[in-house]
Amino acid sequence: MTPDTGMSSTPRALPFVLVGAFAALLVGGIALSLATGVPLAQQQLVNAAGNTASASSFAIVVTDSVSNLSSSVPSGGTQPTGSETLHVVYQAPDSVKETLEATVGRSPSVIVIGDRLFRQTGSKWVESPTSPGEGARAASTIAAPLQLAMHATNVTRRGDLYRFESTDLSRLSKSVLGVDASQLSSPRLSAQVRNGVVTHELITAVVAHQRLELDLAFSAIGSAPPVQVPRTLRATQPSSGVGPS
């Protein structure tokens, strides 16, 4: 699928991809204060999402898919059907590596470390001009689905699976699914909690006769490999930065 480097009012596939050659999401981190009397399942989910979001590092496999609900989907305002998979590694506070899984050829990657942005072009890495706040924006985007769970309401639990709604639904529609709230229907949110952290999230919704699905599998929470400057560019790395890969 062709990466989107600009702003567009039309729906687009793979809305979660972050920076560089990919579309950017800007989602701020908002903490949810627990009030007295909060149902147990809601408190468990909010705490688990907060534990994952505040971890020193984690990895995510993000699968974004679009499917038609009928054989006669109107051509205007629809997204291309199919799916894409993105591999993400996050290291606090502001380092992110993303690799888009390619079916043919080399899988492109982007690395953000603080204000530094590195983009893979073919077999080579190049550094883009310094962009203040780039790492913070990338980290906030990574936290976007977890923020939905941190704003959970109407939570029901069955085993380790939590189904919920979110008070941040407008953020879900625009930032995570990439569409206006007026276009969104039948949103469904669920999360899996194990050992006090969120290990999986599934976000689905219907937009313009199509079903959008964002599947996120979290792993290595607190123990993901470090996000590092590409080895071939280590000579350009500031002495106070992260070590070479």
pLDDT tens, 29-71? Answer: 223 333 346 899 999 999 999 999 999 999 999 999 999 987 7
SS3 232: helix
Closest CA to 51 of 160, 146, 176, 163: 146
Q: Is the pLDDT of residue 238 over 80?
A: no
Domain count, the chain: 1
pTM for this entry: 0.78
The pLDDT value given to residue 103: 74
Say if 32 falls within a structural domain.
no
Q: Is the pLDDT of residue 12 over 50?
A: no
Say if 17 falls within a structural domain.
no
Say if 75 falls within a structural domain.
yes
Say if 109 falls within a structural domain.
yes
Could you tell me the residue range of the domain that residue 198 belongs to? 40-154+178-233
Cα atoms in the Cβ-side hemisphere of radius 13 Å centred on 40: 2
List, in sequence order, every residue forming a beta bridge with 64; answer none if it has no partner. 84, 214
Residue listed under structure tokens 């280590």: 234
List, in sequence order, every residue forming a beta bridge with 86; answer none if it has no partner. 62, 100
Question: Which has the minimum average pLDDT: 41-45, 85-89, 117-121, 231-235?
Answer: 231-235
Q: Is the pLDDT of residue 6 over 70?
A: no
The pLDDT value given to residue 54: 97
Say if 69 falls within a structural domain.
yes
Q: Where does the pLDDT of residue 96 fall: very low under 50, low under 70, confident under 90, or very high at 90 and above?
A: very high
- Assign residue 83 a region: left if phi > 0, alpha if psi is -120 to 50, beta otherwise? beta
SS3 229: strand
CATH number of the domain within which 111 lies: 2.50.20
Say if 26 falls within a structural domain.
no
27 and 140 in contact (C-beta within 8 Å)?
yes
